[in-house]
Amino acid sequence: MVRGQRLIAALAVALLCAPGTWLRSEAEPALPRDIAVARIIGGAPTPAAQWELAGVWQYRAPSSFFGGFSAMLALEQGRFAAFTDRGYRMIFTAPDLPAPQMVMSRQAVPPGQEYTLTDIESATRDPATGSYWLGYEQVHTIQRSTIAGRSDGVRDLRDAVRWPDNSGIEAMVRLADGRFVIVPEGRREGLIFSADPVGVGAPATFRFRSPAKGYEATDMAQLPDGRLLVLMRKLARPSRTVWPPFSALLAIGEPPQAGGEFAPTIALQLDRVIPRENYEGLALRPRGDGRVDVWVMSDDNFSIIQRSLLAKLVFDPQI
């Protein structure tokens, strides 16, 4: 029965992702000139005392290049960078700020790799320099970029890992101490680099234990207290009340050590708080009162029946 449920969910997702099956109608084959954002849900309490919902916004644009947001970074001055699995990025201001702005562009890659470095699934950043790192699925590659967005180095991990092509660097975070932690999709062994993975040697490994059956890490970020906040998703059995067929949660755990185990515990079940979607992007912004703004963004799979949603939650680690 469990195998059958998984098959149904997998077939549903395959239909969502199949090119041309659910593709948006009237989509322009060019970067969007106008991106609309609208608040669809207001603030509300959640079942967990440490968490509250500040709002949910939907982004839209009549462009075949818009959507597929799979990683997100918090920048200065209330801005974010969201990256897509077609190699584009959107720089935008928080939607709860006055006159939010959004602009999309192609993520710069080394010459000759425009058609290989496209499927961005993870991102992390050094706040001191502004440099950021992107993880690419299928080619298992990490790219470093400057604060201006220029490519500044590439590391192919295929000599160090034995991941299948449809897996990859799903979640990646640069820790405050300079180490990099990577959790690949569908695997139970993660990587730890002692420093910038583009420049250092072989990584160490750690065991990854999911806090709930079927949930996989899609993004992660480091909280001000040093712990890791992990965005997780699983395929759910589709029904009239469960659609799109995804379930999501947030988990928290201490950063892993080489040879150890990373076992975060559930902090918030998102299905009870925000609309079901394929949430893959996570970004944090500390507040002056000790709380943390937690932003999560969905990958719409370029489907007409899914949405690009951005949710803002407020986490109080002091409770």
Q: Which of 265, 269, 274, 276 shows the shortest CA–CA distance to 312?
A: 274
- Count structural domains, the chain: 1
CA distance 36 to 47: 31
Share of the chain above pLDDT 70, in %: 92
Per-residue pLDDT at 4 exceeds 80:
no
Per-residue pLDDT at 232 exceeds 60:
yes
Per-residue pLDDT at 204 exceeds 50:
yes
Task: Dump pLDDT digits (tens) for 276-285.
Answer: 999 999 999 9
Q: What is the pLDDT of residue 21?
A: 43
Q: SS3 sequence, 138-186?
A: CCCEEEEECCCCCEEEEEEHHHCCCCCCCCCCCEEEECCCCCEEEECCC
CA distance 311 to 99: 18
Cα within 13 Å of Cα(34), Cβ side = 2
CATH number of the CATH domain containing 197: 2.115.10
Torsion angle defined by CA atoms of residues 238, 24, 232 and 160, in that order, rounded to the nearest 10 degrees = 120
Per-residue pLDDT at 242 exceeds 70:
yes
Q: What is the pTM of this model?
A: 0.92
Q: What is the pLDDT of residue 58?
A: 98
Q: Which residues contact 130 (CB under 8 A, 6 or more apart)?
A: 146, 147
Per-residue pLDDT at 24 exceeds 60:
no
Average pLDDT, stretch 93-106?
97
Cα distance between the two ends of the chain: 40
Q: What is the pLDDT of residue 28?
A: 74
Query: SS3 for 54?
Result: strand
CA distance 166 to 184: 11
Amino acid at 47: P
Eight-state DSSP code of residue 9: H
Task: Dump pLDDT digits (tens) for 130-160.
Answer: 999 999 999 999 999 999 999 999 999 998 8
Would you state the structure tokens that stand for residue 73, as one six-digit string?
């970074």
Mean pLDDT, the chain, integer: 92
Q: How confident is the model at residue 120 (pLDDT cuts 50, 70, 90)?
A: very high
Per-residue pLDDT at 318 exceeds 80:
yes
What per-residue string of b and e applies to 198-228 under the rule 16 or more CB within 10 Å gives b? beeeebebbebebbeeebbbbbbbbeeeeeb
Share of the chain above pLDDT 90, in %: 83
Domain hosting residue 87, numbered range: 2-315
Q: What is the pLDDT of residue 265?
A: 98
Amino acid at 141: T
Q: How confident is the model at residue 12 (pLDDT cuts 50, 70, 90)?
A: low
Query: SS3 for 2?
Result: helix
Q: What is the pLDDT of residue 112?
A: 95
Per-residue pLDDT at 182 exceeds 50:
yes
Q: What is the CA radius of gyration of the chain?
A: 18
Can you say whether the dihedral through the CA atoms of 217, 220, 224, 225 is positive or negative? positive
Burial (0-12, 13-18, 19+ Cβ within 10 Å), 280: buried
Q: What is the pLDDT of residue 16?
A: 55
Average pLDDT, stretch 181-203?
94
Q: How confident is the model at residue 11 (pLDDT cuts 50, 70, 90)?
A: low
Q: What is the pLDDT of residue 29?
A: 81
CA distance 191 to 202: 9
Q: Which of 179, 185, 162 shows the shortest CA–CA distance to 255?
A: 179
Amino acid at 114: E
Average pLDDT, stretch 201-229?
97
Only one residue has tokens 């101490």, namely 177
Q: Which residues contact 2 (CB under 8 A, 6 or more apart)?
A: none
Q: Strands 151-156 and 171-174: what pairing?
A: unpaired
